Structure 1
Amino acid sequence: MSKVIVGLSVSVDGFITGRDPGAGRGLGDAPMLFDWYFSGDTPSEVFDGFRLSEPSAGVFDALAGRVGATLAGRNTYDDSGWSTGGTPHPDAQLVVLSHRPAPQSNERQIFVSTGIEDAIAAARKAADGKDVGLMGGGVTTAALTAGLVDEVILHQVPILLGAGRRFFQELPEHVNLNLLAAVPAPGVTHLHYEVAR
């Protein structure tokens, strides 16, 4: 059965955006969270234009190759500019959890308004046996609260941002993680955890 995974670039103090993210402003004043995508000599085998360090390429491509559908919340969707039909993954359909209607109909995007369980079910169906990748703090927190996340990958960038959107929002109880791998790379450390059951 497919897994539900989350893997995001995050500052040491837990932010996935800088200050003032939003439509037309992207993820705010924190582009350095994603410098490791483009600062190496090894081209990604999954994402055109990504040139990573060798250790980062190994981690990134292994994870990206597993994803058959991506599930994002509406803030991430709007901030990332996908309303024109784009998706975060070149080969995966995008499912958006939102209480607001889709800005336009698009065959690579599915909108779900009935909660995290239905959104993950829709993403699993779209993934066709591959894994579901989560994007955004709200969706990740909702899925963790519902017990639906299998793996957490933190691409931790050595910076303290001090403000922005936090990766994890308040959880009703603690979630135990088991470390599967820690891969140091230039400008980022890849921390791969499984959620303890």
Structure 2
Amino acid sequence: MQTTVFVGTSVDGFIARPDGRFDFLRSDGGEAENHGGFEDFFATVDALLMGRNTYEVVLAMGGWFYRDKPVFVLSHHGLKPAPAEARVEPIHGTVSEALDQLQARGFKHVYVDGGNVIHQALREHRVNRIVRTQVPVLIGEGISLFGPLGFDQKLELVSTKVLPGGAVQSEYRVVSGAAAPASA
């Protein structure tokens, strides 16, 4: 099963402000519409796996971006009600356990989203591809895209392009078996 992280960040590497908002991603138009290729990417996935915090931030934005795609929310707590048009299901366990469940259900390409879920998926060696759009803004503090892994994860650059508005998008393939202990 293919797993992809498709995420926007500030130049200083934050995916969200300390309170979880990611309003800065739209500030220059680089992530707006399909400039960043989100619609094209989204057409290739058949399910999403995200954390409860990300789910709640998306709900608070007042619109459902994911249309009728199944969204699995990794949570050990109850979920706030989803919009009527949404297909949302809670899923439990580790990220690896959740991805194994999705693969067993026949999903072929899963979009992994949310800071904690991305961190766990990377630590558990469950990410195949990373597409990172860096918008030209510094926010100074927030939620980092990457947390401690405990090892070095090799990446292979697939492509880099400049988007309208000055955002830079890079796609990486995660090199399997290339993880090495982090140097002290």
For the aligned pair, the TM-score class normalised by the smaller chain equals 0.7 to 0.9
> What SS does the corresponding residue of 2:160 show, helix, strand or coil?
strand
Q: Which residue of 1 aligns with 2:69?
A: 92
Q: Which runs of 4+ in 1 moved over 6 A?
A: none
Q: Which residue of 1 aligns with 2:2?
A: 3
CA contact 1:16–1:165 (8 Å) conserved in 2: yes
Q: Which has the higher contact order (CA 8 A, sep 6+)?
A: 2
Shift of 1:172: 1.5
Question: 1:11-67 CA deviation, whole Å, 9 max, x = no partner?
Answer: 11110112423xxxxx1xx523133243xxxxxxxxxxx3x44xx3xx333311111
In angstroms, what is the RMSD of aligned CA positions? 2.4
Distance across 2 between alignment mates of 1:87 and 1:95:
14
**Structural mapping, 1:22-37, within 5 Å:** 27=21, 30-34=22-26, 35-37=29-31
Q: Which residue of 2 aligns with 1:101?
A: 78
Distance across 2 between alignment mates of 1:114 and 1:87:
25
Shift of 1:174: 1.3
Among all aligned residue pairs of Structure 1 and Structure 2, give the percentage whose two residues are the same amino acid.
28
Question: 1:65-104 CA deviation, whole Å, 9 max, x = no partner?
Answer: 111101101111112217x9x7542242101111112334
Worse overlay, 107-116 or 156-165: 107-116
Distance across 2 between alignment mates of 1:13 and 1:73:
23
CA contact 2:68–2:87 (8 Å) conserved in 1: no
Distance across 1 between alignment mates of 2:98 and 2:87:
15
- In the alignment of these two chains, the number of paired residues is 171
Q: Which 5+ residue runs of structure 2 have no aligned equivalent?
A: 177-184
Q: Which residue of 2 aligns with 1:47?
A: none
Q: Which residue of 2 aligns with 1:46?
A: none
Q: Which residue of 2 aligns with 1:149?
A: 127
Q: Which residue of 2 aligns with 1:43?
A: none
CA contact 2:3–2:112 (8 Å) conserved in 1: yes
Distance across 2 between alignment mates of 1:98 and 1:150:
23
Shift of 1:3: 0.5
Shift of 1:182: 0.4
Shift of 1:129: 4.4
**Aligned pair in 2 of structure 1 residues 151, 88: CA closer, same or farther (>3 Å)?**
same
TM-score, normalisation: structure 1:
0.77
Q: Which residue of 1 aligns with 2:101?
A: 122
TM-score, normalisation: structure 2:
0.81
Amino acid at match of 1:9: G
